[in-house]
Structure 1
């Protein structure tokens, strides 16, 4: 038995420095002499000022805090994670322990006798360098700050500009009545050097806005006379935002609604107009140019070229630690513009090739992470197409036309860096290019017969989001889905069971549960073990609450926090955790030039490991909650 234990110890410690530079016989002698110690949560391995024991300690599982007592207060010095040595200073000096080694969690520790370990340190140059460089826990003359992310001082001002609230407007508010002539409005706008006029009705309520663009496009071109009322050229697509919000909020609204001016209100009263031009003066780096170039691209090559610039934009904002919610909305807006342009190019290509376009409405929908507005990195495509009902004689041709359309769109998205879905969950697949009636039948089948495959498809397709075409088709599907789920609530129990199938992110000893085989052996699956459980739980709880329109995971948890005050804190913690995990995955993906899904834990900083652990806490609590809520013990 002793040989088996020492062999397991040897296999484990050789993965970590400085043991990875030891000879085989040195590893063997250490492992054979090691003692295996178990500590409960709250116990100490050794205490401050305690006489040093003849061991150096290695943390196998759990978490140990090194704490110093200052003025009767415990001060955290360091956090020991799996694979780290502690008790080093006492080993090197023979003095009492200067820190307390406190077990924050149940911990398993290997104790290596100094009689075996110290000769190795003295004879092995690599091991000596390891300790001389302060790379073992408790050795902090240098390098403590490397545990924490540092911002580039040159970029701080730009980062703050995003978060800075809009406290005042530089331009005066210009109000004109709707019956004012275009000529009078233009003269007043020129006199005040303003770039926007708010048009009001007789009651003084804002009903429209007129800008330089309206004068150029509608008056200079001869469409309207300068003696016509200004109401004939005003834009009525009014979006209002409160004064005092961060600049990022105004940027997102402009991008989302494809507008260049916002009404700014204070206590529900319009106090001014905020323009894209003014926003440019506040923000050094903005996505407007990328969006404009995508929307005005003349061909597929230029479209793809401009989409590639988003990678630089994403890296920049991740480095600035801009809120993940802001980044994801910006990326979503740009991706949506890309898809719309791809559809327009594809429709034009079919027309040019003399394909007969059926007189049938259709809607393009995004699924999965893009459907949830969470696709920061370019991953594989998940999309589908809905078309209006037609008679049996027209069905085959109608479907074939839209499949041809989808093939072209999917191809353009592929050229833009979005890989084809390995499971072929794309609109070009006849299974996912269906009439509205066929989609209803498909949803009904999944809900009435929640087999394994049906549940898997539900988790993907119920996160659909309208992108292009006839939005009413999507609204019809929303109403159908809501009614079906509410009238067949047993389906939610199966969906909840499915949401708990992924293993917990942490082991019993609070270590990361990594893959034990395959190409990703020893890597942590961030998507399957952390992001997916949070996504799946948010989905099933929103469906239970009857909300089928919110798709974003963070927004789902915020909605749930408002609906269920008793669990508000838990839901908000889940939202915060999800945002961090998205940000972390995107950062890792950019750093490693991959999807960011699989992570080598030993390659990330101790600080990030601790924040990751903290972000996992809501997962277990949420899973336990839905197990009770949906009585999952009764479902196999």
Structure 2
């Protein structure tokens, strides 16, 4: 009987990754030692912070939710379906479970002993890469991650460095009371041979941190005296993370919060400071040398040269299946630094030509895919400029100055490889270089008169994102738009109708719908058929929910999943599908030296065609949903 059960286990798991990369004898051995576990709905396979069990789990039947305790609520991290592994983090790190595994349905689970499974992971390059591909952001191994099994195995050590947990800090911890003098703090810092101090209150609670940079900028410049309390020069924007997470997660936290130091804790106790330099020294193939080169570039030519280096690590990260959210954040950070540096160069050039900058605030905003932080490849520019209110006599001079500034920035971005927008949707166009009141009127016109052109422009401009300058201008526009959209909800019906203009990407017979004429005949339009519908639907649903701030499509779907529990699974599927499609397009673009938009179906593998089909399912369901939600049958 035992042989029959183990044989059935082996036959079943062999259909799924990473087991399909194992030898038959390895699967047989695993199956003979597996335990079969049954759970009723509402039971837990394991709980958060529970000591790791000596098993990795495989879901045979049912559904398991991976959730993180967040105060009174549980935050859904992932949904495990048939054929998926969970408990991966604990297996690789040996740490307690960071999530709970809750059975949403009656579930049958295979438990494979780590004593047998872990040596296989360590000895089999394909299996190692499979687990690396899903760990960076806590994502489950799934059919999108199977791409990892097709990659070269020679660079696994490089790739796994992103997944290595932070186990200890190399620099000693130094806690200093807030009333300590700057001079005394500096001496203690030197004696301890550390580059950071944690400033604490009487109860030992962290108030801020002081680094070498603070001493250089605030003491050497004469802003403060060495006898002043150290609290005068501390940075108070404290972000903390617990020790033990993969290095990539600390990197993402730094990027998202635009900081260079993280406070590291363990069970609420401060254990030290993690800085970017230490982090990067542990991350092989580090892209941030490029970022620093961009920020310190002394000429436009060097600026463009440094930006072009990004293409090398982009291909590497894509082919090694680094999680898309990590890659897009890296690329956005580099592009934003490029834009900021281009603005600085342009301002200096105008000043040299005696075109003096008016005392008027301005903000540079990115639009479209760059606004959504989704521009992995160098595509054409989409940007605009907002400037503050000015009196009528000043308007012509102020607008002309900012137009000259914007055109020079557009030229520098062109030199760096970003093509001019064919539709001229750039800040150097007088149509898109406007005062804050003019921008409000422009958006108001689109909302109140949602004609075809207005809807097209709305799909581009509603994805604006602040990049540089006075952020208050962008916040004012956010507040205005939120009010306007809520007061004119009929606009959302038209926007929803526009989101369904492209039919589902699969035909009745589940074939990919290709172009029937034109330059791309018999090719699949990945942007129009798949990416745009998902982008447009996420945008209109977030606007309806009153969220104007989130621009990224994946983040929009995750927001919607938290807002609407009844459709949570659909929204999470849509987020996952979108991440895969962005990744797939970028890889195709790099391999074919184009935008990756049009796919020649007979040139991609059967595996890729199947994964594409799987990722299209949420599009059809979402289009059906908004048809009903916004009663689109009544709108022509």
TM-score interval (norm. to shorter): 0.7 to 0.9
**How far apart in 2 are the matches of 1:72 and 1:308?**
48
**1:501-521, Cα deviation, whole Å (9 max, x unpaired):** 012111111111111111111
Whether the 8 Å CA contact 1:363–1:466 is kept in 2: the answer is yes
**1:361-400, Cα deviation, whole Å (9 max, x unpaired):** 1111000000000000000000001111112221122111
Whether the 8 Å CA contact 1:256–1:333 is kept in 2: the answer is no
Match of 1:408 in 2: 408
Distance 1:258 1:625, change over 3 A: closer
Q: CA deviation at 1:191?
A: 3.4
Match of 1:450 in 2: 450
Match of 1:56 in 2: none
Matched, 1:169 2:169: yes
Match of 1:337 in 2: 337
Q: CA deviation at 1:436?
A: 0.7
**1:72-108, Cα deviation, whole Å (9 max, x unpaired):** 9789999xxxxxxxxxxxxxxxxxxxxxxxxxxxxxx
Distance 1:258 1:295, change over 3 A: farther
Matched, 1:251 2:255: no
> More displaced, 167-176 or 610-619?
167-176
Q: CA deviation at 1:180?
A: 1.0
SS at match of 2:484: helix
Match of 2:298 in 1: 298
**How far apart in 2 are the matches of 1:552 and 1:473?**
20
Q: CA deviation at 1:320?
A: 1.2
SS at match of 1:154: coil
Whether the 8 Å CA contact 2:148–2:320 is kept in 1: the answer is no
Q: CA deviation at 1:181?
A: 2.1
**How far apart in 1 are the matches of 2:343 and 2:221?**
30
1:85-96 paired onto structure 2 within 5 Å: none
Match of 2:515 in 1: 515
Distance 1:209 1:570, change over 3 A: same
Q: CA deviation at 1:360?
A: 1.0
Q: Size of the alignment, in residue pairs? A: 501
**How far apart in 2 are the matches of 1:513 and 1:347?**
48
1:387-406 paired onto structure 2 within 5 Å: 387-406=387-406
Match of 1:604 in 2: 604
**How far apart in 2 are the matches of 1:401 and 1:523?**
45
Matched, 1:314 2:314: yes
Match of 2:324 in 1: 324
Matched, 1:540 2:502: no
**How far apart in 1 are the matches of 2:180 and 2:528?**
61
Match of 1:98 in 2: none
Whether the 8 Å CA contact 2:147–2:321 is kept in 1: the answer is no
Distance 1:550 1:211, change over 3 A: same
Whether the 8 Å CA contact 1:147–1:605 is kept in 2: the answer is no
Match of 1:212 in 2: 212
Q: CA deviation at 1:169?
A: 2.8
Match of 2:553 in 1: 553
**Which has the larger Rg?**
1
**1:133-175, Cα deviation, whole Å (9 max, x unpaired):** xxxxxxxxxxxxx998433322112211212332333333221
Distance 1:223 1:544, change over 3 A: closer
**How far apart in 2 are the matches of 1:73 and 1:344?**
62
What is the aligned-residue RMSD (CA, Å)?
2.2
**How far apart in 1 are the matches of 2:147 and 2:552?**
32
Distance 1:448 1:216, change over 3 A: closer
1:340-351 paired onto structure 2 within 5 Å: 340-351=340-351
Q: CA deviation at 1:324?
A: 0.2
TM-score (norm 2): 0.75
SS at match of 2:162: helix
> More displaced, 272-281 or 313-322?
272-281
**How far apart in 2 are the matches of 1:291 and 1:182?**
31
Whether the 8 Å CA contact 1:444–1:484 is kept in 2: the answer is yes
Q: CA deviation at 1:221?
A: 6.0
**1:448-502, Cα deviation, whole Å (9 max, x unpaired):** 1111110000000000000111111100100111001101101100000000001
**How far apart in 2 are the matches of 1:151 and 1:527?**
25
Match of 1:158 in 2: 158
Whether the 8 Å CA contact 1:303–1:338 is kept in 2: the answer is yes
> More displaced, 420-429 or 179-188?
179-188
Question: Which stretches of structure 1, 4 residues or more, deviate above 6 A after TM superposition?
Answer: 69-78
Whether the 8 Å CA contact 1:585–1:597 is kept in 2: the answer is yes
**1:578-620, Cα deviation, whole Å (9 max, x unpaired):** 0000000000000000000001011011111110100001000
**How far apart in 1 are the matches of 2:305 and 2:573?**
39
